[in-house]
Structure 1
């Protein structure tokens, strides 16, 4: 049986709508029965009423009169909560929305109903139902009498209020922080008048102490912004401003399974299938960096002074503290070139005593952002991102939890829209940790029947932790030659999927799966069913390569060809690539590969050349490491600085152990067979090699035969080149090996080409 931690409607929308319709009907009937209750109608307490003329006044007739009487006798006025709850769940089923923590939700609703009944019974002045039935029903009277006996009315009222709040927490995502964020903006004039008065007093005191030393300068605005709210500017005098306390944004709902949107748009997990891992498997954040407001102001003054030393006039208008870096908005005076500001990077590093300073213009503003590292770096954990509204409420099918931007805003991107991702960075800059965060963000959203993975790890260091999870199509690939076969299979799978899409006349995988879900259930329809294979929805396939350079060194031509074909065509059929390398050089990230990967990430690299190779722009050489990255979103030329989350090996192990308990992987034998065929072909006759004719032509034209020549001209590996030479020797084209010398060519150039 499926776990009762959460209940999710089935993948058949018609069945969901049918159940939702039943619930809506029940809610309507119960609601009408309660609203039109008449004490003179037939009921459990009235066997026969002399005034009854045979037709009940209840809108639902005799059934409604008995139903309403029963509810009111037991629960009183709190019976009106029953049709409300039924209506809410009817909407969930009609919309195919998941219902999480169902037992907890039901417990909260029951507690809310009983608490309301007892509260009504505790107030004797509350009118009775139909002038006869107690307002809280006999259940409410029973609870209220016990509480009054034990705790007196005051204590009973406190207990009931606390019980109502507990029921609200259990049955909804209510929190006091959210309530404050909703109420405070509407009644801020009444709530914060004391704060404004105190702020005015402090400003007057500072103004008197500050004097008029800088009276000749125009008043500037300087604001420190919280990571969770937008700019709130206060007029400043003399280049200083009072710090505005940030208003807390609406928090994420209570921790729930990370698949809040897995059911959206036809991806509702079906009951009985594997559970998604809970976010409690991940570590929570324990270290919170403190913002020293006075220190930030001093840094702003240092920036202005240092810029003035190099004849760059301007001022800092706003300060945006973030989890890792603080951004100072620098407003240059008219006539100051942008290039002159960017040349101050190294000098600002000295002035601020910082490891590195990055300068970039801010989009949509006439200011320049100067990003300086914080003295105390905040720890960003993956759990915080997975429990955030940006992740939980997104409609992304393949969400990638990238981290937080420079202001602390959570960044989640959709791999399906990218549709492929290329990442590069030097060793030890957080590249592999971020790859783990991306993989886990997919595993927390999608079940094995929704996403399949091929993990290629030639380094044999990182991805081996995911061995035997049910999402894998093949065991974690560590051999470059086997990885080449896996990529070849992915290309053939892409072509097979395109044939399936053409057969149904659709353009992408979502439309195909939607048609499959709408097919009638076998045995319940007279229509001729499709083959069993064509009735199954196709999962997305994500191929993760942790070190592309190792594959390119083994078989650059084949790997580049397969990756390019997949990058160009595989998006529509749901096949996506995540490539990572620590060598962002042109021989690894070739022009063809880079042209087909519009979404790219660069961690800290050694030089500007490497930064331009991966991003077509400078800046990656100025990053801080430990997950600090520049993200180039698809369809944009503006770089976004993101700080990746920390994922420990223990967290990955806990998630993997949970997934292994959900089921075993179903490996695809075709991929293994493709590997065996490739090995056999490599060991067999070279005449079957498609490059044989080209190799013969090269050997005859050059008049010598060696493996190094064939490797260089055909861009193939040593084993394949040696096999081609052996085949040519058997055909009598070249002679036997002569030590370190090239083999002799036995065929005349003119004779051979005249025959062919």
Structure 2
């Protein structure tokens, strides 16, 4: 027992206490936390409220057998963030292969995509999340900052207003605060079984590099075997939670020590904080389906969901040389999309690779080659750092060219 020269023996109560999510949310520990990614863990064996923050973890691995409380914790995590953050501060990508657990959150304004139940689309979403990570890393490097908090602070200090997150303009024109992105996968085993190599690569890259740009992963599985929680994944997830599991081997797989096989179930968990080898036993809170429905209905009244369906599209494939397949044969003005790109640039009055990528669904290399040809032909000016290129021709220039050729 801490602070005493005695040894304590844990004895379970005759009657189990039910900890409500409301009790944790109303606690000073939750209310005083400044992080937008604060979520409730429950109470420890001394009866103290325990909360955690995703941005300090920065990724979380959850394991537990059926009925142990794993899905309830996922719901408490989502609900905690819904209480703490607005849609322009935090966005979710929810992957629910079982089609039963996360469908309650369909159409809330915090969602970046519809709740994903198709495993192929889940693989695409992870691959596209790595592309978003790379885009954000370039943005941070351009501004000379090291993490998303510094970037957002710098953008706000410049006097830019935080426009609608669902605006289709360029994210850097003008710069605006970036939301955190939380990717929750409710059953990792199904995803690894069908899309193992692609999923492991995407998860590993995100786990290694996405912390600074505000992208966080929460992975849950009821089968914590080494073929699901591989060494690469495990090495990049220092924060872990285990509910009751079937065997000692499963406990060692998730926590690197035994003990989870002896838990009581129904919210009884062992929490391994990041950077600590000492586990904390916590009793998780309970949130009912009716409470979830009330909060979801309230958020739906405030705003409607606007999805970024590009996350569900197949990402551009690359060959060994790094060129995107199907694009290397086009050379600038010979590209069948060149004229459409010129029309788009003249219409918008600005030119950047990200504009062409998003509007015309092109890869980066192809969009960059088209801009190089436009520059040689005098349609746009040279690159100007992080700003879009200047358009040198009038909006009706292309129509005049068409008329002169007739």
TM-score using structure 1 length: 0.40
Counterpart position of 1:454: 93
- Following superposition, the deviation at residue 369 of structure 1 comes to 3.9
- Following superposition, the deviation at residue 570 of structure 1 comes to 0.3
Structure with higher helix content: 1
- Following superposition, the deviation at residue 555 of structure 1 comes to 1.1
Is the 8 Å Cα contact of residues 469 and 665 (structure 1) preserved in structure 2? Answer: yes
How many aligned residue pairs are there?
Answer: 313
Unaligned ranges ≥5, structure 1: 1-328, 330-361, 523-529, 682-687, 690-756
- Distance, in Å, in 2 between the alignment partners of 1:419 and 1:531 is 24
Give the structure, 1 or 2, with the largest relative contact order (CA under 8 Å, sep 6 or more).
2
Is the 8 Å Cα contact of residues 519 and 535 (structure 1) preserved in structure 2? Answer: no
Select which of 384, 387, 398 maps to 2:37: 398
- Distance, in Å, in 2 between the alignment partners of 1:442 and 1:428 is 24
Superposed CA deviations along residues 76-121 of structure 1, whole A, max 9, x for unmatched, are xxxxxxxxxxxxxxxxxxxxxxxxxxxxxxxxxxxxxxxxxxxxxx
Change beyond 3 A, Cα 1:532–1:617: closer
Select which of 255, 260, 263 maps to 1:620: 260
Note the 1:424-573 alignment, pairs <5 A. 424-520=63-159, 533-573=173-213
Is the 8 Å Cα contact of residues 466 and 656 (structure 1) preserved in structure 2? Answer: yes
- Distance, in Å, in 1 between the alignment partners of 2:221 and 2:65 is 8
Counterpart position of 2:311: 671
- Distance, in Å, in 1 between the alignment partners of 2:130 and 2:234 is 19
- Distance, in Å, in 1 between the alignment partners of 2:130 and 2:7 is 45
Unaligned ranges ≥5, structure 2: 162-169, 319-324, 327-406
Change beyond 3 A, Cα 1:401–1:653: same
Is the 8 Å Cα contact of residues 109 and 303 (structure 2) preserved in structure 1? Answer: yes
TM-score using structure 2 length: 0.74
Is the 8 Å Cα contact of residues 485 and 674 (structure 1) preserved in structure 2? Answer: yes
- Distance, in Å, in 2 between the alignment partners of 1:396 and 1:408 is 23
- Distance, in Å, in 2 between the alignment partners of 1:521 and 1:510 is 16
Counterpart position of 2:26: 387
- Tell me how large the CA RMSD over aligned residues is: 2.0
Change beyond 3 A, Cα 1:576–1:365: farther
- Following superposition, the deviation at residue 367 of structure 1 comes to 4.7
- Following superposition, the deviation at residue 396 of structure 1 comes to 2.1
Superposed CA deviations along residues 232-263 of structure 1, whole A, max 9, x for unmatched, are xxxxxxxxxxxxxxxxxxxxxxxxxxxxxxxx
Larger Rg: 1
Of stretches 468-477 and 533-542 in structure 1, the one that deviates more from structure 2 is: 533-542
Is the 8 Å Cα contact of residues 546 and 580 (structure 1) preserved in structure 2? Answer: yes
Counterpart position of 1:42: none
Local SS of the residue matching 2:211: coil
Superposed CA deviations along residues 156-212 of structure 1, whole A, max 9, x for unmatched, are xxxxxxxxxxxxxxxxxxxxxxxxxxxxxxxxxxxxxxxxxxxxxxxxxxxxxxxxx
Change beyond 3 A, Cα 1:521–1:577: closer
- Following superposition, the deviation at residue 377 of structure 1 comes to 1.1
Change beyond 3 A, Cα 1:365–1:575: farther
| 2:218 is the counterpart of 1:578 | yes
Select which of 285, 288, 309 maps to 1:645: 285
- Following superposition, the deviation at residue 372 of structure 1 comes to 1.6
